[in-house]
Amino acid sequence: MSTEVRQMFSSIATKYDVTNEVLSFGIHRLWRRTAVRLSQAKPGDSVLDCASGTGDLALAFKRKVGATGHVIGTDFCAEMLESGPAKAAKAGLPVDFQVADAMDLPFEDNRFDVASIAFGIRNVDDPVKCLKEMGRVVKPGGRVVVLEFGQPTGAFGALFRFYSKTVMPTVGGLLTGNRAAYEYLPRTSAAFPAGERFLSLMDQSGAYAERSAHPLTFGTANVYVGLVR
């Protein structure tokens, strides 16, 4: 799956930000701020953002940790990272970007205070291995934060499923020229474990002393927080 996902993201990289803004109505900005807040990152902290894409969450963390903090953004798709350095420079927020696989991170144990991944863990081949690897590079007592789509229920859930299956592929396809990518993204979101089922994956990793789930926008997304052992 990794090769196919890398090729898919490579094909939509240049239009990813615009498409994401349109399809999410800008709500993703609020979700990222919530993820940063729940991470309890503070000035001077060292943060690793996995599956960083075009770098928006990494930049949000850099704003939080300040000049004395250090943020590294990684992604296994080099094309997705290409716009990150210019975006960081324009914002005056120095962030290091490098290509790396979230299941095989090139960092020593206990290096970071916080590690994060937003809308990326459902695309890895082994989510439990990814959770374990992220926990490995975070200091004991530090936090791993996962922002991922959920599966809302009730009337809002029905509306969300219609939007995901019908509107997202159409609009995403028009904006990027790759309709299949925007059929894949909602399909994997609907199938990926959410809520208590995702917390079970965190337990299977054995990396966390505590873990919690924080639903956002009627369960459309969740922020999961793990306290590293």
Q: Which residues are annotated as a binding site for S-adenosyl-L-methionine?
A: 54, 75, 101-102
Cβ count near 4 (within 10 Å): 10
Element (H, E) at 146: strand 138-149
H, E, C per residue of 70-110: EEEEEECCHHHHCCHHHHHHHHCCCCEEEECECCECCCCCC
Q: Report how far residue 59's alpha carbon sits from residue 218's, in angstroms, rounded to the nearest whole number.
A: 26
Sort strands 96-99 and 70-75 into parallel, antiparallel or unpaired.
parallel
Q: What secondary structure letter does DSSP report for 165?
A: I
Q: Report how far residue 219's alpha carbon sits from residue 43's, in angstroms, rounded to the nearest whole number.
A: 30
Task: Enter the tokens of residue 119.
Answer: 């809308």
**Bridge partners of residue 215, in order along the sequence:** 222
Binding site: which residues?
Answer: 54, 75, 101-102
